Structure 1
Amino acid sequence: MAGLRIAVFASGQGTNFQALADAAKQERLDGASLELLVCDKPEAPVVERAGRAGVDTFLFRPKEYASREAYESEIVAELERRDIGLIVLAGYMRIITPVLVEPYYGRMINVHPSLLPAFPGVNGMKQALDYGVKVTGVTVHYVDGGLDSGPIIAQRAIEVLDGDTEATLAPRVHAAEQELLPWVVQRIAAGAVSLDGRTVTVR
């Protein structure tokens, strides 16, 4: 799958977008290229990161549309126009609908700050700390329309240290995300990831 064209969806700081942009610039994505940033917050710092990386943007404000399906239809048209082969959700804080999920199932991945299926949804790190786990981590998974419920591609475990807070745990979680996500994208671009039901094989 050399030449895989990627769209990254993000809503905030864009640190995972930056990790992918850096990996692409350093030719660590097996020929894949970042073609588009999709962002629902035009003022978000990730938009500036895209500009510095020379990546085109599709910016929108959800309140200007009648429904989620309405703006997702525009997004899908843009993705098709650009021949996007992989969508990476990297801190994209919108609920997505079948309009986007169905045409890209098996070609859309998400990074989540917990060891799924534990602690899905928002505030995964806080959920883990509140529960008192000794090990947490990050997960990259396919998106299936449920709440962080798609088939798992790869995970990295992180020890929770005595006295850890969100502030002390977050840097280790983010570092793991920024290492794992480009690795998964590279394996997908290399044609080394296969999906069979809920079973994902990474060669």
Structure 2
Amino acid sequence: MQKIKLVYLWSLRNAAADKAGQQVAYKGEQRYMKSPLEFLVQALNDTALGETYDLRGIIYDDDPESPRDRKVIEDYGYQPGQGCHWFYPADLKVQGRSVNELLENVPSSYRSLPLGDPRRVPGKSDFERRLGERLRALEADVVVIDGLLVILDELVREGAEFHRRMVNIHPGITRLESPYERRGAYATLDALYGARGRKVIDWTTRETIDVPVVAMTGASFHYVDNGIDSGEVIFDVLDTPIDPEDTILEMRWNNFHNSLFPALEQGLAILARGLQRK
């Protein structure tokens, strides 16, 4: 049976915030912060996922012309060797091929424009057009999104070419009916506040209110739609206890290993079974 062609789409600036590929402080020790991409590569090499999927490309949307993006990822750069760190081991291979060879950039340049600038709307449309061209060139059947700090529209709306072909791995439970629901860019921090009995009502000022303690979190593998982590859930895992004294990186490490990595692996397996039945 022909393998499913997989493309990985991410934002380097999000991985840099996690200190992916580095040793991080963890309860008085040092632990390696493995990224979801590195985990996926190892799963494709070592598990049955590699018999089902073929990783065709890795696209990042960070803009080399943006001073803000360069500042965020200055410890890494845009390619291995440009900074003092990289997001995974430089010699990492996937299914016999160097991961570095799969890297390419489709910059979301419109983000540099001021909010309210009339050029942002056509700029975003142009980004999605260029991204769609690369996905078609790579013959992508499925696109896994990890930490992309852009909300997609034209590519994923109902009836579009990549509708229900783009999936997101999110570090939080996205089901609205769940008491553990944590959507959006602040999902991890939101969960950490929740374990302390607080809820942020204004992320600009960090104003909080008292709420009942919720000391668990998880991860969701879901289809991408036009909303914020609002697509149909394919598989989720709720298996990360939160220590109120955790740092954000300690909690990220725990959630990656306890919930997000299992959700990614099992979600891809479930997705493959559905695609193979068609």
Corresponding residue for 1:199?
none
- Closer, same or farther: CA 193–126 of 1 in aligned 2, 3 Å: farther
Higher relative contact order (CA 8 A, sep 6+): 1
- Go from structure 1 to structure 2 and tell me whether the alpha carbon gap of 1:108 and 1:61 turns closer, same or farther (over 3 Å shift): closer
Which letter does structure 1 place at the counterpart of 2:9?
A: F
2: CA distance between counterparts of 1:28 and 1:192? 16
Q: Work out whether 1:184 is the aligned partner of 2:230.
A: no
- Which residues in structure 2 correspond to 1:101-112 (within 5 Å)? 101=157, 102-112=160-170
Unaligned segments of structure 1, at least 5 residues? 195-203
Give the residue type in structure 1 aligned to 2:167: I
The Cα RMSD (Å) is 2.7
Deviation at 1:144, TM superposition (A): 1.1
Kindly tell me the number of residue pairs found equivalent between the two proteins.
194
- Tell me, in whole angstroms, the C-alpha distance in 1 between the residues paired with 2:252 and 2:261: 12
Q: Is the 8 A contact 1:187 1:193 kept in 2?
A: no
Inter-partner Cα distance in structure 1 for 2:253 and 2:92: 24
Q: What letter is aligned with 1:78? A: R
* Secondary structure in 2 matching 1:6: strand
Contact 2:9 2:58 in 1 (8 A): yes
Query: Which residue among 171, 190, 203 is the counterpart of 2:253?
Result: 171
Which deviates more from structure 2 when the two are superposed, residues 13-22 or residues 157-166? Answer: 157-166
Does structure 1 residue 60 correspond to structure 2 residue 106?
A: yes
Show the counterpart of 2:134: 78
1:115 has 2:115 as partner:
no
Q: Which amino acid aligns with 1:11?
A: S
Q: Which residue of 2 aligns with 1:88?
A: 144
Report what 2:209 is aligned to: none
Partner residue of 1:134? 215
- Name the amino acid aligned to 2:52: G
Aligned with residue 60 of structure 2, among 12, 15, 39: 39
Deviation at 1:114, TM superposition (A): 1.2
Q: 1:92 to 1:67 in 2, by over 3 A?
A: same
Cα distance, 1:127 vs structure 2: 0.8
**Structure 2 runs not aligned, ≥5 long:** 21-34, 65-69, 81-87, 111-119, 198-213
1:109 and 1:140 in contact (8 A); partners too: yes
1:105 partner amino acid:
H
The answer to which structure has the higher helix fraction is 1
Query: Does the 8 A contact of 2:106 with 2:131 survive in 1?
Result: no
1:173 Cα deviation from its structure 2 partner: 0.7
Q: Distance in 2 between matches of 1:35 and 1:10?
A: 14
- After TM superposition, the score normalised by the length of structure 2 is 0.61
Q: Which amino acid aligns with 1:183?
A: Q
Distance of 2:128 and 2:156 partners within structure 1: 6
Larger-gyration structure (1/2): 2
